[in-house]
């Protein structure tokens, strides 16, 4: 065991929680003195830390853009288009700027350089070569190739009315994608306002049916349409043709024409004879619902009586996803297999996931899909969709799964949107990315949640690794993690904490701890927070703490939370700075554990093998290229933490830039 005691208690200053709205309004003004003060303290502290850190100083990373790297880029707010929103079929940008009394947006004062903007582009997350992207669409595995389609604007880096389906393929590791020509473009009366989100169904004979939502241009009516690959034997599925008598489903009576979208993958119905069921999200008043349709041919559909499920007060349900997970403890193929969409019966539960248009979060519930009654019944009404669990507690939306029949895995894709100002997107030339694909299985230990883990191919994305065994960190310490290439890391860490302290500590029961209202990593308890500082620079002038906070819960038992603290992640204004996170179950005898992947401007965190996960999009100005560092920290007041950690440097897959025009355009 190596004891470490670099004392830095003032590092993560306690911030009094303030309401979210006020926080956004005040953030820019308040942070400046706090950051300056902290920076001075940290400068002194960093000197002692440097003795460690200097042993492995990285050379600056390569700048890939051919543009002038020094030329500053000033957001032109007047040129910016108004923010897009619900009525236009896309997620509203949550951060829309901070207006000063003068009426000027503070964000215009931040001068982004090309060097900073170029650095934000990720190296192992899926991104199109340019322009705007949102929801993942129709993911599938076909003849040895992974396919991802996605909502894409061929005309620029903002959501617009020419939303099309971008398309990329990869045959080996979900990393080395080939960008193909767009698959579908809004060019028919039934989809002139956009080829929106949809899903693929692989039929037993290997044929594919792709259902998507089209929106008409004049009345903005949302209808469901069918498309097929021109040549189903083509492993790349390059060409797609829309069905000649689309749309195949109109909004039924009583359903708002703008509230009817995002058909799911079809599953087999007990009615037999190739009868299949799909579900489509909608709302009735403020009640989120999902309708069920039956089809035998994907061209004619029958609306079934009632709804799959309804939850009052949850508003419009977008991107509904319904799939089975295995509850069996002994599985023939593997302990961790996923299931085909049509599997049901003994040893199977269903996950119902919906994306809430009202608050832009993805919620799910575990339950039973009764195929006779065509209804979903949650296991626990207190954990129903929108009341209980979220797929992710950070920036993550419109997720969609597919079944990889080759590996028997259910794989989840989800969209990470931008959290800065829209005006900056055209300067970068792109907006948004997809979170790394995760496999999704039932958590047989808790029985109350799913586990989401980076899909196994992600292991092959790593190159060099460094291991740190059994290191003891005193309360109030921060220690650099000596790894090169801290801009792109895959870190696994396990932590041991002396929980008997909960019996002796004067700390009162804190069952109501909540990452978002806690004040962040500066809120100190006897047993936490502890974790990593990522996307940080040597002086810690910018840093994103990802940490576990162990509070004293009911009956004096430990209650853990996984949090990501963005408040000091960027010195730039015009950037959302939230504290994300949620509780994570830790069972008796388990160590605390986390997996954290950083890819330039993205941090993806998983706790306890994926019981809880958090994504964040960061916009640093200092800790970029070779200046990026990672640290371990323990900001508990009483507990020492023993940690073991392995950090892998991940491979890069830099996509060609500038963009090579589509052969079709
Ligand atoms: N995005 C699509 C819609 C979907 C929404 C439009 C969710 O089909 O409901 O781009 O982000």
pLDDT digits (tens, 9 = 90+) for 4-22: 434 333 344 333 333 333 3
Residue 300 lies in a domain: yes
For residues 225 and 280, membership in a common domain is answered with yes
For residues 381 and 360, membership in a common domain is answered with yes
What pLDDT does 73 receive?
54
Residue 92 lies in a domain: no
pLDDT digits (tens, 9 = 90+) for 216-232: 999 999 999 999 999 99
For residues 409 and 467, membership in a common domain is answered with no
For residues 403 and 481, membership in a common domain is answered with no
* Reported confidence tier of residue 634, pLDDT bands at 50, 70, 90: very high
Residue 419 lies in a domain: yes
Q: Examine the pLDDT at 333 and tell me if it is beyond 60.
A: no
Q: Which of 133, 197, 259 to mutate to test the pocket of ligand 1 (most atoms within 8 A of CB)?
A: 197
Provide the 3-class DSSP secondary structure of residue 501: helix
Residue 24 lies in a domain: no
Nearest C-alpha neighbor of 318 from the set 389, 266, 385, 371 = 385
Q: Examine the pLDDT at 297 and tell me if it is beyond 50.
A: yes
The domain boundary residue, chosen from 394, 424, 449: 449
For residues 490 and 439, membership in a common domain is answered with no
Range of the domain at 172: 120-449
Q: What percent of the chain has pLDDT over 90?
A: 69
For residues 534 and 588, membership in a common domain is answered with yes
Work out how many domains the chain is built from and give that number: 2
For residues 435 and 505, membership in a common domain is answered with no
For residues 443 and 467, membership in a common domain is answered with no
| CA 87 to centroid of ligand 1, rounded, Å | 11
Nearest C-alpha neighbor of 265 from the set 333, 328, 203 = 203
Alpha-carbon distance 522 to 533, whole Å? Answer: 12
- The atom of ligand 1 lying closest to the CA of 91 is 11
For residues 294 and 354, membership in a common domain is answered with yes
The domain boundary residue, chosen from 420, 449, 478: 449
- CATH number at 504 reads 2.60.120.560
* Residues identified as active-site: 135
- CATH number at 275 reads 2.115.10.20
C-alpha distances in angstroms, 180 versus 429, 610, 664?
19, 32, 10
Residue 436 lies in a domain: yes
| CA 266 to centroid of ligand 1, rounded, Å | 19
C-alpha distances in angstroms, 273 versus 129, 297, 299?
43, 11, 16
Alpha-carbon distance 288 to 318, whole Å? Answer: 9
For residues 434 and 507, membership in a common domain is answered with no
By DSSP bridging, strand 592-599 and strand 488-497 are antiparallel
Nearest C-alpha neighbor of 183 from the set 202, 172, 198, 173 = 198
Contact 91, 134 (CB under 8 A): yes
For residues 297 and 262, membership in a common domain is answered with yes
Q: Which of 211, 262, 320, 360 to mutate to test the pocket of ligand 1 (most atoms within 8 A of CB)?
A: 262
Residue 660 lies in a domain: no
| CA 90 to centroid of ligand 1, rounded, Å | 5
Nearest C-alpha neighbor of 480 from the set 421, 537, 551 = 537
Residue 291 lies in a domain: yes
Q: Examine the pLDDT at 56 and tell me if it is beyond 50.
A: no
Residue 50 lies in a domain: no
For residues 334 and 365, membership in a common domain is answered with yes
The pTM of this model reads 0.86
Question: What lines the ligand 1 site, CB under 6 Å?
Answer: 89-91, 134-135, 151, 163, 196-197, 213, 261-262, 318-319, 398
């Amino acid at each position: 065991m190596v004891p470490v005691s670099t004392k830095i208690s003032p590092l993560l200053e306690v911030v009094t929680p303030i309401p979210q709205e006020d926080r956004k309004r005040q953030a820019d003004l308040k942070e400046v003195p706090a950051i300056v003060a902290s920076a001075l303290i940290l400068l002194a502290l960093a000197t002692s830390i440097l003795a460690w850190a200097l042993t492995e100083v990285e050379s600056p990373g390569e700048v890939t853009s051919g543009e002038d790297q020094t030329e500053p880029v000033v957001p032109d707010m007047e040129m910016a288009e108004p923010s897009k929103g619900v009525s236009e079929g896309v997620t509203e940008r949550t951060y829309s700027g901070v207006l000063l009394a003068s009426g000027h947006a503070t964000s215009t004062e931040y001068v982004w350089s090309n060097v900073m903007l170029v650095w934000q582009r990720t190296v192992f997350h899926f991104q199109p070569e340019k322009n705007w992207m949102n929801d993942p669409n129709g993911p599938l595995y076909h003849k040895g190739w992974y396919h991802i389609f996605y909502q894409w604007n061929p005309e620029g880096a903002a959501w617009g009315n020419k939303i099309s389906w971008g398309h990329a393929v990869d045959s080996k590791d979900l990393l080395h994608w080939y960008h193909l020509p767009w698959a579908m473009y809004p060019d028919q009366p039934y989809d002139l306002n956009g080829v929106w989100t949809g899903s693929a169904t692989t039929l037993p004979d290997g044929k594919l049916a792709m259902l998507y939502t089209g929106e008409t241009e004049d009345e903005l009516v949302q209808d469901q349409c069918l498309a097929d690959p021109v040549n189903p034997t083509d492993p790349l599925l390059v060409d797609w043709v829309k069905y000649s008598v689309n749309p195949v489903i109109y909004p039924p009576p009583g359903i708002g024409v703008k509230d009817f979208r995002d058909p799911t993958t079809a599953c087999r119905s007990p009615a037999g004879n190739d009868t299949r069921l799909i579900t489509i999200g909608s709302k009735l008043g403020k009640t989120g619902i999902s309708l069920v349709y039956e089809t035998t041919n994907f061209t004619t559909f029958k609306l079934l009586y009632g709804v799959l499920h309804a939850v009052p007060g949850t508003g419009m349900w977008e991107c509904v996803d319904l799939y089975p997970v295995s509850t069996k403890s002994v599985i023939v193929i593997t302990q961790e297999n996923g299931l085909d969409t049509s599997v049901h019966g003994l040893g199977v539960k269903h996950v119902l996931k919906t994306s809430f248009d009202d608050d832009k979060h993805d919620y799910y519930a575990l339950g039973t899909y009764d195929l006779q009654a065509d209804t979903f019944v949650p296991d626990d009404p207190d954990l129903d969709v929108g009341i209980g669990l979220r797929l992710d507690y950070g920036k993550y939306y419109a997720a969609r799964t597919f079944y990889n029949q080759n590996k028997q895995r259910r794989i989840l894709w989800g969209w990470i949107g931008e959290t800065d100002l829209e005006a900056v997107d055209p300067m970068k030339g792109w907006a948004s990315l997809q979170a790394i694909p995760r496999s999704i299985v039932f958590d047989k230990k808790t029985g109350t949640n799913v586990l989401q883990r980076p899909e196994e191919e992600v292991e092959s994305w790593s190159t060099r690794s460094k291991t740190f065994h059994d290191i003891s960190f005193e309360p109030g310490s921060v220690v650099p993690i000596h790894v090169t290439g801290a801009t792109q890391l895959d870190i696994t860490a396990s932590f041991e904490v002396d929980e008997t302290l909960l019996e002796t500590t004067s700390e009162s029961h804190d069952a109501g701890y909540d990452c978002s209202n806690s004040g962040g990593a500066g809120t100190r308890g006897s047993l936490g927070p502890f974790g990593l500082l990522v996307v940080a620079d040597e002086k810690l002038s910018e840093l994103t703490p990802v940490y576990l906070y162990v509070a004293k819960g009911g009956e004096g038992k430990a209650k853990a939370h996984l949090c990501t603290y963005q408040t000091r992640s960027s010195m730039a204004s015009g950037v959302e700075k939230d504290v994300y996170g949620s509780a994570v179950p830790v069972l008796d005898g388990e160590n605390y554990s986390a997996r954290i992947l950083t890819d330039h401007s993205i941090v993806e965190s998983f706790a306890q093998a994926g019981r809880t996960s958090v994504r964040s999009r960061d916009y640093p100005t200092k800790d970029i290229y070779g200046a990026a560092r990672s640290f371990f920290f323990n900001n508990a007041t009483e507990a020492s933490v023993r940690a073991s950690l392995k950090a892998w440097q991940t491979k890069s897959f830099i996509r060609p830039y500038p963009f090579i025009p589509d052969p079709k355009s």
